[in-house]
């Protein structure tokens, strides 16, 4: 009976256990799971867990936190009520993985376990002083959808996300470019999912950028045949901290390296080395530098060609030779010999193999040949040209024209003569001849051709006020053979005469001779008084040789008028028009002095003061004195506008005769004195 009771009891107990388990499972299934489980490490080695309370959470709901630091999961904390959804685990080892999970507990019944989260352990290894080798652990098991962000901090610069990586990547190498002094850099890693951000501890180490940019590869170096400038082209390098390229002129034999230029990052990768290809071949290299001055020297060099040409007088050919082009990995496929003839565009005259370095070119006499060589790459690089080497075959180029540009007067004794030169001519020699108004031409000078537009000669010890002089040039080529003579140039003379009754000055001048198309116009310049300046005030056509200048408006000036005539050349076939000036000639209007013979005191208003009326005098020299019959000076004045009012010492003089003396000068300085008597009548 006892045995049956026990059996019944055990059955009942078993039934109760099953019921309890079923009940527990039922309750457990009803306990909601925490949401959005996240965690981050701070600088105090504290790992903070955060989560969101389930929707419509029960007020009695608590949270139990489990941790595994290597020995298995153990409960480390119970959090509640449900509004408290964060827990900080202090003082953990940031280099050790600590795993956590959390579950809700309601009336003793736990929820299902949440996903396992761990602190991200970030390790940093410095490679070559410049590269941060970063590795980290995964923060979740299983991993949700999301990405890792690698964050870097450098003093005095904002935090920067250096990389965004998939959730299954746990390493990254970050090169610190542009760190020119020992600098501490801080890194941390974040896992960013749709729900939250989980952050690693921060790691710090010292870095210094010692990594140079890649070595530039020179494409081609060439010489501009016209200027002798070397132009070097290279492929740009890919470096985030690239600062500049330095171009060097290298003598490898003597190990000499000359810096000849700098090209900044971002500018076209080409450089012009002015005039460097004129005197010989040059070996060039390009070196890239970063912001810290790191460089990896040069990967290769390029050596330009240097061409020379020789010609023997009266020969029928010219020897063209050149140095090899060096620098293309594929080598030179061919050399093209080109020549510009008489300044024309270059033309191809021969194609040679990449092994040949000279060519005998047929030439014609009396021509100019300028040769250069163009190397053609066996690869895809642009061609390279040499300097230009020129020869003149037999005769130098003679002048295509000979033009006496102008003859102009400089002053009373000198004349300036100008010859317009042909810039295309070479080695010319010129002789200048002069003739007076009568007589033959006499050579007065010999001149070699110059680089200037004109040859100018000043001829002195002449009488340009009264005489005209004729000038012409003879030309001789580079071999001393006379090739012709220029037009004749003759200076102008002029006269200026004062027409006293008309208050006018009459000007006449001789024509300028001889311009190709004559005189376009004559400009007349005038200066009034010794203190004035010459100004253009009239012009006439190229056929007119006289002019009358009405000067009545200047009657209260000093009366001296100076003139010069300027002839302007009509347009010619040479594109350079000239002018010619006469000597300065002056005309002085004679002074006008009207002096009243009497005055009436207390009479008509316009006859109560003794005052002369003057014109065309130097008013600064005017002086008037009045004397009585006993020789006493009773009035004096230096102002022509100030007259005598018939008083002396404040009293009106008696009716009588009074003597006056008036002195002055005309515009040219010639003195005048007027003296007579004035009758005074007192009413």
Would you call 429 helix, strand, or coil by DSSP?
Answer: strand
As a whole number, mean pLDDT of residues 260-288 equals: 96
Looking from the CA of 2 toward its CB, the CA atoms found within 13 Å total: 0
Confidence of residue 8 (pLDDT cuts 50, 70, 90): very low
354 lies in some domain: yes
Which range (45-49, 80-84, 447-451) has the least confidence?
80-84
Q: For residue 394, what pLDDT is reported?
A: 78
How high is the pLDDT of residue 604? 67
Average pLDDT, stretch 639-662?
A: 90
In angstroms, the CA 309 to CA 359 distance is 10
Torsion over CA of 453, 459, 462 and 466, rounded to 10 degrees?
A: -10
Final residue of a structural domain among 303, 327, 345? 303
Beta bridge partners of 184: 206
Is there a domain that residue 13 lies in?
no
pLDDT band at 616 (very low <50, low <70, confident <90, very high): confident
164-177, pLDDT tens digit by residue?
999 999 999 999 99
Q: Are 67 and 114 contained in the same domain?
A: yes
Alpha-carbon span 642 to 640, nearest angstrom: 5
Domain hosting residue 658, numbered range:
592-682
Measure the CA–CA gap between 301 and 329, rounded to whole angstroms: 11
Taken in order 442, 444, 448, 454, the sign of the CA dihedral is negative
Residue 16: pLDDT over 60: no
Q: What is the pLDDT of residue 314?
A: 57
How far are the Cα atoms of 225, 234, 247, 469, 497 from residue 229, in angstroms, in the given order?
A: 8, 17, 14, 50, 64
Residue 238 is assigned to a structural domain of this protein: yes
Instruction: Report the alpha-carbon distance of residue 179 to residue 173 in Å, rounded.
Output: 16
CA-based end-to-end distance of the chain:
190
In this structure, the answer to whether residues 201 and 222 fall within a common structural domain is: no
pLDDT digits (tens, 9 = 90+) for 514-546: 999 999 999 999 999 888 899 999 999 999 999
Question: Is the residue at 5 inside a domain?
Answer: no
pLDDT value at residue 188: 96
CATH number for the domain including 181? 2.60.40.10
Decide if pLDDT at 361 tops 80: yes
pLDDT of 436 higher than 70: yes
Cα radius of gyration (the chain): 55
Which residues face 416 on adjacent strands? Answer: 408, 458
Q: What share of the chain is helix, strand, coil (3-state, %, to 5)?
A: 5, 50, 45
Average pLDDT over residues 599-617: 82
Dihedral pair phi/psi, residue 323, rounded to 5°: -85, 160
Task: Say if residue 3's pLDDT is above 50.
Answer: no
Q: What is the reported pLDDT for 613?
A: 87
The total domain count for the chain is 7
Q: Is the Cβ–Cβ distance between 552 and 573 less than 8 Å? A: no
**Cβ count near 194 (within 10 Å):** 8
Quick one: 584 and 498 in the same domain? yes
Whole-Å CA distances, 332 to 313, 353, 518, 683:
34, 8, 61, 122
Last residue of a domain, one of 184, 207, 230: 207
Q: Is the pLDDT of residue 411 over 60?
A: yes
Q: What is the mean pLDDT of residues 124-133?
A: 96
Q: Is residue 82 part of a domain?
A: yes
For residue 2, being part of any structural domain is answered with no
Pairwise pLDDT comparison (594 vs 306), residue with the higher score: 306
Mean pLDDT, the chain, whole residue set:
89
pLDDT value at position 325?
Answer: 98
What mean pLDDT is predicted for residues 129-134?
96
- Residue where a domain terminates, one of 303, 329, 363: 303
Same domain, 584 and 603: no
The answer to whether residues 499 and 584 belong to one domain is yes
Instruction: Decide if pLDDT at 2 tops 80.
Output: no
Q: Is 141 found in the same domain as 177?
A: yes
In this predicted model, what pLDDT tens digit does every residue of 165-217 receive, in sequence order? 999 999 999 999 999 999 999 999 999 998 889 999 999 999 999 999 999 99
Torsions phi, psi for 558 (to 5 deg): -75, -20
Please compute the mean of the pLDDT values over residues 645-658 and round it to a whole number.
Answer: 90
pLDDT above 80 for 654: yes
Domain-located, residue 511 = yes
Helix (H), strand (E) at residue 2: helix 2-30
**Residue 28 in this model has a pLDDT that exceeds 60:** no
The angle subtended at Cα 111 by Cα 105 and Cα 117, nearest 5°, is 100
Q: Give the percent of the chain with pLDDT over 70.
A: 95
Decide if pLDDT at 14 tops 60. Answer: no
Residue 262 has pLDDT above 80, yes or no: yes
- The mean-pLDDT minimum among 82-86, 137-141, 506-510, 547-551 falls in 82-86
Q: Are 386 and 223 in contact (CB under 8 A)?
A: yes
189 with 223, same domain: the answer is no
Q: Both 230 and 282 in a single domain?
A: yes
Q: Indicate if the pLDDT at residue 11 is higher than 80.
A: no
Number of H helices, E strands in the chain: 1, 57
pLDDT for residue 445 is more than 90: yes
Task: Specify whether the CB–CB gap between 102 and 37 falls below 8 A.
Answer: yes
Strands 598-601 and 671-682: parallel
The answer to whether the pTM exceeds 0.75 is no
> Quick one: 232 and 257 in the same domain?
yes
Contact 678, 598 (CB under 8 A): yes
Q: What angle do CA 587, 589, 592 make, to 5 degrees?
A: 170
Nearest alpha carbon to residue 392 among 316, 321, 311: 311
CA–CA distance, 41 with 221 (Å, rounded to integer): 58
498 and 581 inside one domain: yes
Question: What is the pLDDT, as a whole number, of residue 27?
Answer: 40
Q: Is the four-CA dihedral 635, 641, 646, 651 of positive or negative sign?
A: negative
Q: Tell me how far apart the alpha carbons of residues 51 and 30 are, in angstroms, rounded to a whole number.
A: 19
* Residue 601: predicted pLDDT: 85
Is 66 within a domain? Answer: yes
- Residue 620: the pLDDT is 86
């Amino acid at each position: 009976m006892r045995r049956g009771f026990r059996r019944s009891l055990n059955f009942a107990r078993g039934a109760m256990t099953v019921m309890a388990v079923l009940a527990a499972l039922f309750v457990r299934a009803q306990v909601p799971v925490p949401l959005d489980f996240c965690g981050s490490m701070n600088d105090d080695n504290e790992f903070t867990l955060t989560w969101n309370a389930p929707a419509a959470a029960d007020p009695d709901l608590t949270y139990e936190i489990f941790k595994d630091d290597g020995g298995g999961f153990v409960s480390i904390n119970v959090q509640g009520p449900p509004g408290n959804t964060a827990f900080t685990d202090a003082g953990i080892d940031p280099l050790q993985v600590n795993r956590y999970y959390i579950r809700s507990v309601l009336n003793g019944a736990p929820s299902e376990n949440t996903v396992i989260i761990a602190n991200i352990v970030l390790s940093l290894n410095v490679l070559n002083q410049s590269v941060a080798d970063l590795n980290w652990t995964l923060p979740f098991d299983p991993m949700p959808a999301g990405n890792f962000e690698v964050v870097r901090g450098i003093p005095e610069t904002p935090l920067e996300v250096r990389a965004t990586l998939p959730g299954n990547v746990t390493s990254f190498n970050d090169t610190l470019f542009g760190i020119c002094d020992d600098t501490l850099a801080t890194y941390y890693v974040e896992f960013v999912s749709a729900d939250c951000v989980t952050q690693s501890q921060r790691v710090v180490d010292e870095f210094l950028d010692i990594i140079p940019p890649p070595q530039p590869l020179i494409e081609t170096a060439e010489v501009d045949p016209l200027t002798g400038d070397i132009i070097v082209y290279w492929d740009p390098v890919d470096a985030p901290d690239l600062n500049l390229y330095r171009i060097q002129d290298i003598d490898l034999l003597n190990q000499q390296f000359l810096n000849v230029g700098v090209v900044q990052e971002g500018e076209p990768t080409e450089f012009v080395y002015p005039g460097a290809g004129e005197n010989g071949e040059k070996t060039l290299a390009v070196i890239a530098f970063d912001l810290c001055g790191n460089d990896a020297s040069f990967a290769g060099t390029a050596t330009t060609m240097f061409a020379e040409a020789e010609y023997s007088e009266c020969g029928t050919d010219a020897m063209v030779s050149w140095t090899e082009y060096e620098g293309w990995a594929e080598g030179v496929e061919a050399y093209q010999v080109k020549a510009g003839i008489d300044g024309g565009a270059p033309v191809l005259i021969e194609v040679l193999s990449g092994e040949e370095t000279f060519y005998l070119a047929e030439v014609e006499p009396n021509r100019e040949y300028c040769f250069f060589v163009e190397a053609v790459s066996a690869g895809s690089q642009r061609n390279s040209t040499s300097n230009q080497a020129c020869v003149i075959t037999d005769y130098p180029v003679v002048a295509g024209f000979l033009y006496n540009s102008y003859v102009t007067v400089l002053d009373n004794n000198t004349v300036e003569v100008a010859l317009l030169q042909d810039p295309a001519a070479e080695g010319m020699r010129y002789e200048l001849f002069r003739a007076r108004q009568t007589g033959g031409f006499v050579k007065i000078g010999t001149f070699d051709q110059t680089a200037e537009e004109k040859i100018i000669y000043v001829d002195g010890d002449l009488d340009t006020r009264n005489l005209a002089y004729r000038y012409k040039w003879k030309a001789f080529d580079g071999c001393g053979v006379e090739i012709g003579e220029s037009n004749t140039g003759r200076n102008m003379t002029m006269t200026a005469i004062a027409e006293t009754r008309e208050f006018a000055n009459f000007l006449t001048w001789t024509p300028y001779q001889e311009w190709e198309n004559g005189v376009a116009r004559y400009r007349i310049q005038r200066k009034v008084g010794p203190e004035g300046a010459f100004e253009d005030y009239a012009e006439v056509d190229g056929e007119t040789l006289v002019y009358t200048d009405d000067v009545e408006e200047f009657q209260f000036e000093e009366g001296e008028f100076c003139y010069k005539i300027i002839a302007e050349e009509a347009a010619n076939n040479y594109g350079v028009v000239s002018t010619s000036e006469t000597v300065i000639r002056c005309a002085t209007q004679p002074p006008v002095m009207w002096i009243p013979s009497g005055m009436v005191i207390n009479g008509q208003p316009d006859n109560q003061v003794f005052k002369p009326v003057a014109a065309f005098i130097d008013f600064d020299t005017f002086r008037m004195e009045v004397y009585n019959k006993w020789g006493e000076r009773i009035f004096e004045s230096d102002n022509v506008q100030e007259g005598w009012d018939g008083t002396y010492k404040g009293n009106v003089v008696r009716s009588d005769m009074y003597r006056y003396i008036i002195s002055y000068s005309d515009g040219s300085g010639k003195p005048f004195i007027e003296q007579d008597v004035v009758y005074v009548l007192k009413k």
